[in-house]
Structure 1
Amino acid sequence: MSVVIPFLAVLLAGAFAAYHRLRLATWVAISAVVLAACWFLGAHPTATLVAAGIVAAVGALLLLPFLRKPLVTAPLLKFFRKVLPPLSQTERIALETGSVGFEGELFTGDPDWDKLLGYPKPMLTEEEQAFLDGPVEELCRMVDEWEINHVRADLPPAVWNFIKQHRFFGMIIPKEYGGLGFSALAHHKVIQKLASVSSVVSSTVGVPNSLGPGELLMHYGTEEQKRYYLPRLAVGEEIPCFALTGPFAGSDATSIPDYGIVCRGEWNGEQVLGVRLTFDKRYITLAPVATLIGLAFRMYDPDGLIGDRRDIGITLALMPRSTPGLEIGRRHFPLNSPFQNGPVRGKDVFLPLDQLIGGVDKAGLGWNMLNECLAVGRSITLPSTASGGTKWAAVVAGAYARIRKQFGLSIGRFEGVEEALARIGGKAYATSALSQATAAAVDRGDVPSVPSAIAKYHCTTMGREVAGDFMDIVGGKGIILGPRNIGGRAWQASPIAITVEGANIMTRSLLIFGQGAILCHPWVMKEMKAAQDPDHAAGLREFDRNLFGHIGFAISNAVRSFWFGITGAKIGKAPGDDYTRRYFRKLDRYSANLALMADVSMLLLGGKLKFKESLSGRLGDVLSHLYMASAMLKRYHDEGAPHSDRTLLAWAFHDSVHKIETALSAALRNFPIRPVGWLLWALVFPLGRRAVPPGDRLSHRVAALLMAPNEARDRLAQGVFLTPGPNNPGGRINSYLAKAIAAEPVERKFLKALKNSDIEALDFRSQLDEGVREGWITAEERAQLEELRELTLDAIMVDDFDTEELRSAGYRNLPDSERARREAA
Structure 2
Amino acid sequence: MTVLLILIIAVAILFGVTDIRKKWISEPIFKMFKRILPPMSETEKEAMEAGDVWWDGEIFSGKPDWHKLHNYPDAKLTDKEQAFIDNQLETLLAMLNDFEIVHDSKDLPKDVWDYLKREGFFAMIIPQEYGGLAFSATANSTIVAKIATRSVSAAVCVMVPNSLGPGELLTHYGTQEQKDRWLPGLSNGTEVPCFALTGPEAGSDAGAIPDKGIVCEQEFEGQKTLGIRITWNKRYITLAPVATVLGLAFKLYDPDKLLGEQGELGITCALIPTSHPGVKIGDRHMPMGLAFMNGTTYGEDVFIPLDWVIGGPSYVGKGWRMLVECLSAGRGISLPALATAIGHLGTKTTSAYSYIRKQFGLSIGKFEGVQEALARIGGHAYTLEAARKFTTSALDTGFSPSVVTAISKYHMTELGREVVNDSLDIHAGKGIQLGPKNYLGHLYWGVPVAITVEGANILTRNLMIFGQGATRCHPYVYKEMEAAANPDFKAGLKQFDALLIKHIAFTIRNTGLALFHGLTLCKFGDTPVGGETAQYYKQMNRLSAGLALCADVSMLILGGALKRKEMISARLGDVFSQLYMASAVLKRYEEDGRQISDLPFVHYAVQNCLHKAGVAFEGYFDNFRPRWLAHLIKRLIFPYGVSLKAPNDILARRVCRALLKTGETRDRITNLCYMGVDDNDAVGVVEAAFIAMHACQAIELKIHGAQKSGKIPRRVPLEQAIAAAEKEQLITAEEAQQILHADKLRKQAIAVDSFPAEFFTQQSTQSSAQSGTQQNSNSPNSADTAA
**Structure 1 length as normaliser, TM-score?**
0.91
In structure 2, how many angstroms separate the alpha carbons of the residues matched to 1:154 and 1:707? 37
For structure 2, the 5+ residue unaligned runs are 773-787
Q: Does 1:379 align with 2:362?
A: no
Match in the other structure for 2:590? 637
In structure 1, how many angstroms separate the alpha carbons of the residues matched to 2:196 and 2:540? 41
More moved, 682-691 vs 599-608: 682-691
Which residue, out of 84, 88, 96, partners 2:41? Answer: 88
Contact 1:103/1:451 (8 A) holds in 2: yes
Deviations 1:202-247, CA, capped at 9 Å, x for gaps: 1110000000011011111111001111111111111111111111
Match in the other structure for 1:259? 212
In structure 2, how many angstroms separate the alpha carbons of the residues matched to 1:109 and 1:509? 22
Amino acid of the structure 2 residue aligned with 1:224: E
In structure 2, how many angstroms separate the alpha carbons of the residues matched to 1:690 and 1:747? 45
More moved, 805-814 vs 623-632: 805-814
Which residue, out of 763, 769, 782, partners 2:736? Answer: 782
Deviations 1:163-206, CA, capped at 9 Å, x for gaps: 11110111010101110011111111111111111111111100
Deviations 1:565-616, CA, capped at 9 Å, x for gaps: 2222122332123222211111111001110110000011010000001011
Q: For 1:265, what is the secondary structure of its paired residue?
A: strand
Q: Does 1:364 align with 2:314?
A: no
CA separation of 1:812/1:447 partners in 2, compared to 1, >3 Å: closer, same or farther? closer
Deviations 1:704-727, CA, capped at 9 Å, x for gaps: 111112332122122332344346
Match in the other structure for 2:745? 791
CA separation of 1:211/1:349 partners in 2, compared to 1, >3 Å: closer, same or farther? same
Match in the other structure for 2:487? 534
In structure 2, how many angstroms separate the alpha carbons of the residues matched to 1:524 and 1:699? 42
In structure 1, how many angstroms separate the alpha carbons of the residues matched to 2:712 and 2:698? 22
More moved, 300-309 vs 692-701: 300-309
Contact 2:354/2:364 (8 A) holds in 1: yes
Contact 1:94/1:368 (8 A) holds in 2: yes
Sequence identity percentage: 47
Match in the other structure for 2:383? 430
Deviation, 1:806, is: 2.5
Correspondence list, 1:423-502, <5 A: 423-502=376-455
Contact 1:83/1:603 (8 A) holds in 2: no
Amino acid of the structure 1 residue aligned with 2:208: S
In structure 2, how many angstroms separate the alpha carbons of the residues matched to 1:775 and 1:81? 90
Deviations 1:250-278, CA, capped at 9 Å, x for gaps: 11111111111112234334432221111
In structure 2, how many angstroms separate the alpha carbons of the residues matched to 1:595 and 1:704? 39
Deviation, 1:814, is: 8.0
Deviation, 1:766, is: 4.6
Deviation, 1:651, is: 0.4
Match in the other structure for 2:783? none
Contact 2:712/2:724 (8 A) holds in 1: no
Q: For 2:726, what is the secondary structure of its paired residue?
A: helix
Which residue, out of 272, 275, 295, partners 1:319? Answer: 272
Match in the other structure for 1:394? 347
In structure 2, how many angstroms separate the alpha carbons of the residues matched to 1:659 and 1:81? 35
Match in the other structure for 1:582? 535
Match in the other structure for 1:41? none
Match in the other structure for 1:242? 195
Deviations 1:7-51, CA, capped at 9 Å, x for gaps: xxxxxxxxxxxxxxxxxxxxxxxxxxxxxxxxxxxxxxxx2x332
Deviations 1:65-88, CA, capped at 9 Å, x for gaps: 233222322222112212223212
In structure 1, how many angstroms separate the alpha carbons of the residues matched to 2:110 and 2:376? 38
Deviation, 1:111, is: 0.7
Amino acid of the structure 1 residue aligned with 2:67: D
Contact 1:149/1:338 (8 A) holds in 2: yes
Match in the other structure for 2:295? 342
More moved, 300-309 vs 229-238: 300-309
CA separation of 1:640/1:758 partners in 2, compared to 1, >3 Å: closer, same or farther? closer
Q: Does 1:573 align with 2:526?
A: yes
Q: Does 1:679 align with 2:663?
A: no
Contact 1:644/1:711 (8 A) holds in 2: no
Deviations 1:419-440, CA, capped at 9 Å, x for gaps: 1111111111111111212111
In structure 2, how many angstroms separate the alpha carbons of the residues matched to 1:767 and 1:601? 69
Q: For 2:639, what is the secondary structure of its paired residue?
A: coil
Q: For 1:688, what is the secondary structure of its paired residue?
A: coil
Q: Does 1:211 align with 2:170?
A: no
Q: For 1:281, what is the secondary structure of its paired residue?
A: strand
Correspondence list, 1:287-302, <5 A: 287-302=240-255
CA separation of 1:127/1:758 partners in 2, compared to 1, >3 Å: closer, same or farther? closer
CA separation of 1:741/1:655 partners in 2, compared to 1, >3 Å: closer, same or farther? same
In structure 1, how many angstroms separate the alpha carbons of the residues matched to 2:483 and 2:304? 43
Amino acid of the structure 1 residue aligned with 2:43: T
Deviations 1:458-480, CA, capped at 9 Å, x for gaps: 11111111111010111222111
CA separation of 1:402/1:343 partners in 2, compared to 1, >3 Å: closer, same or farther? same
In structure 2, how many angstroms separate the alpha carbons of the residues matched to 1:746 and 1:355? 72
Amino acid of the structure 2 residue aligned with 1:790: K
CA separation of 1:216/1:761 partners in 2, compared to 1, >3 Å: closer, same or farther? closer
Structure of higher CA gyration radius: 1
Contact 1:143/1:727 (8 A) holds in 2: no
Amino acid of the structure 1 residue aligned with 2:564: F
CA separation of 1:561/1:758 partners in 2, compared to 1, >3 Å: closer, same or farther? closer
Deviations 1:305-347, CA, capped at 9 Å, x for gaps: 2222321111111111101122111211111111111111111
Contact 1:208/1:240 (8 A) holds in 2: yes
More moved, 720-729 vs 410-419: 720-729
CA separation of 1:814/1:249 partners in 2, compared to 1, >3 Å: closer, same or farther? closer
In structure 2, how many angstroms separate the alpha carbons of the residues matched to 1:472 and 1:533? 57
Q: Does 1:283 align with 2:232?
A: no
CA separation of 1:647/1:758 partners in 2, compared to 1, >3 Å: closer, same or farther? closer
Match in the other structure for 2:775? none
Contact 2:354/2:426 (8 A) holds in 1: yes
CA separation of 1:403/1:761 partners in 2, compared to 1, >3 Å: closer, same or farther? closer
Task: Give the count of matched residue pairs.
Answer: 769
Deviation, 1:693, is: 0.7
Contact 2:149/2:345 (8 A) holds in 1: yes
In structure 1, how many angstroms separate the alpha carbons of the residues matched to 2:325 and 2:286? 30
RMSD across aligned C-alpha pairs, in angstroms?
1.8
Deviation, 1:672, is: 2.9
Contact 1:277/1:346 (8 A) holds in 2: yes
Correspondence list, 1:555-566, <5 A: 555-566=508-519
Match in the other structure for 1:741? 694
In structure 2, how many angstroms separate the alpha carbons of the residues matched to 1:247 and 1:327? 16
CA separation of 1:84/1:192 partners in 2, compared to 1, >3 Å: closer, same or farther? same
Deviation, 1:148, is: 0.8
Deviation, 1:809, is: 4.9
For structure 1, the 5+ residue unaligned runs are 1-46, 819-825
In structure 2, how many angstroms separate the alpha carbons of the residues matched to 1:346 and 1:481? 39
In structure 1, how many angstroms separate the alpha carbons of the residues matched to 2:325 and 2:408? 16
In structure 2, how many angstroms separate the alpha carbons of the residues matched to 1:799 and 1:295? 43
Contact 1:477/1:486 (8 A) holds in 2: no
CA separation of 1:813/1:258 partners in 2, compared to 1, >3 Å: closer, same or farther? closer
Q: For 1:325, what is the secondary structure of its paired residue?
A: coil
Contact 2:526/2:541 (8 A) holds in 1: no
Contact 1:450/1:516 (8 A) holds in 2: yes
Match in the other structure for 2:765? 811
Amino acid of the structure 2 residue aligned with 1:800: S
In structure 1, how many angstroms separate the alpha carbons of the residues matched to 2:577 and 2:547? 11
Amino acid of the structure 2 residue aligned with 1:781: E
Match in the other structure for 1:773? 727
Contact 2:370/2:426 (8 A) holds in 1: yes
Deviation, 1:109, is: 0.5
Match in the other structure for 1:160? 113
Match in the other structure for 2:16? 63
Deviation, 1:64, is: 2.3
Which residue, out of 791, 800, 809, partners 2:754? Answer: 800
Which residue, out of 606, 610, 616, partners 1:663? Answer: 616
Amino acid of the structure 2 residue aligned with 1:788: A
